[in-house]
Structure formats: structure tokens, C-alpha cells
Structure 1
């Protein structure tokens, strides 16, 4: 059985006060780490950012605003286009602020990807292998 899901989406990035521009979002899911969706954003072959997102939070963000920390998600709908708005707060800037970016993804495409992950590991069936985790901690690098 396949234990990995991946998709590449064209999304729009808005950094600071700039206009939106198209970038690629590579979403991946590995059933061996069932709570995590990895999002890699790239433009012209260059990786702009890599984030690990909570899979349940990503699904909830399609329906309602979620997140209070570095990642905040919420649905948006302008009447013709349903999007998932993903707000990311990054490292501190020299001026004391933080790097900030907003990514807009077509919500139905994110939903389709999440459905594939749910086929691999249904919600509520995720397993935490604590013995494996503890063994990694005790053996070190």
C-alpha cells in the first residue's frame, strides 16, 4: 500500500505590501509521520520557504479560522473563488518586526490533497510510536 501523497499547486504569495505573485507549493504527506503535511514553496527553482503544518489544522482552516502562533489559516471566498489563506510569521527582522508572508491556495485543490492523506491514514487513526521516538532520543545522532 502506498504511504505517501504529494501534489504541486500554483498558489499566490503576498509578502508585505506587495501584489500577489504566483509560486509553486509542493505539499507532501508521509504516513510514517501522520500528523504532518510539509509545504515547500518555490519560485523559478529556488526554495522560498519550508513549513511543516498540522494536518488537522490544515483541514480545519478550510472551514474556519485557526491558529494563533506562527501559522494562521482561514477560508476566504470572494463569491467566485474559494481560497485557503495561509499566513506565516517568520524570523525577526533587523527593525524588530518579523518576516511575514501570506499564501492563497485554491481551496478545492487543498481539499483533494487532504482527502488522499485521509485515505492513507484516516483522521483519528494516527499512531504515535513512542518507543521508536524514545529510542531515537537515547541513541542520538
Structure 2
């Protein structure tokens, strides 16, 4: 199994005019960062016209499929049986996207094949990360 999982999903960016702009997004999970998920959006989905990547906890995504969750910059909640809404809060505003829940569940299941839930700590190299941090200081 590859240490990196990329999965393209169709995201519906909800505009200020309450319209939905379909944009591709890429979900990414890496074994060397076992607690995090990344979602990457293309330039046309951002106000600045550049690629945007959000990083948040894998557990947050899993919990948000079942009930509203999140504090701070990322919130996730079910919207009916088939759709999940994700909110991304930044200084310039809030972006809301909707993604098929089945696509998110499939991505999570694939990530659990790489690093099973509850075993993330076994993938962390705290000593190595601390040494690298101290070398940079």
C-alpha cells in the first residue's frame, strides 16, 4: 500500500449568491503525517486565484460525517444522507463546500488501510521531528 493516498472528488463551492460552483478537489492522506488530511482546491476556487490547501484532523472528518463538528478554521457536518458540508474559515472570509458523503467515506476507508484508526501514534517519529526542529532553530 502506498504511503500517500490521493483521491479526486467533485466539490460544490457554495457562492455568496447561494449558487454552487463545481470544482475538482483532491483529498490527500500521508502515512508520515498520520493525524492529518489535506484537501487541495484549484486556483478558480480561491479569491486570490492560487491553489489552496487546507490541513485538518482525520478524526474531524470522520466525526463530521455523523454530526456537526469542528472548532476554529474547519467545520464539518452532514447535510442530509448523501452530502457533507465543509466550512473553511480564513481571515478573508468563509468558504463552504459540499462533497458526496460516499466519496469521503471511501477516502477515509482507504486511509485506514494505510494507518488504522487508533494506531496513528505508531507512525510518528517524535524524536526525529524534535531533532529536525532544533536543527532549524
Please tell me the TM-score bracket, short chain as reference.
Answer: 0.7 to 0.9
Q: Distance in 1 between matches of 2:130 and 2:136?
A: 10
Cα drift, residue 62 of structure 1: 0.5
1:126 aligns with 2:120: yes
Q: Distance in 2 between matches of 1:29 and 1:60?
A: 17
Q: Distance in 2 between matches of 1:47 and 1:18?
A: 22
5+ residue gaps, structure 1, are 93-98
Task: Give me the TM-score of the superposition, normalised by structure 1.
Answer: 0.86
Pick from 65, 81, 84 the counterpart of residue 62 of structure 1: 65
Question: Which 4+ runs in 1 deviate beyond 3 A?
Answer: 43-48
Structure having the higher strand fraction is: 1
Deviations 1:42-74 (A, max 9, x none): 156964421002101101111111012111110
Aligned to 1:83: 83
Q: Which range moved further: 128-137 or 14-23?
A: 14-23
RMSD across aligned positions (CA): 1.9
Aligned to 1:108: 102
Structure having the higher helix fraction is: 2
Answer yes or no: is the 8 Å Cα contact 2:15–2:21 preserved in 1.
no
Answer yes or no: is the 8 Å Cα contact 1:16–1:101 preserved in 2.
no
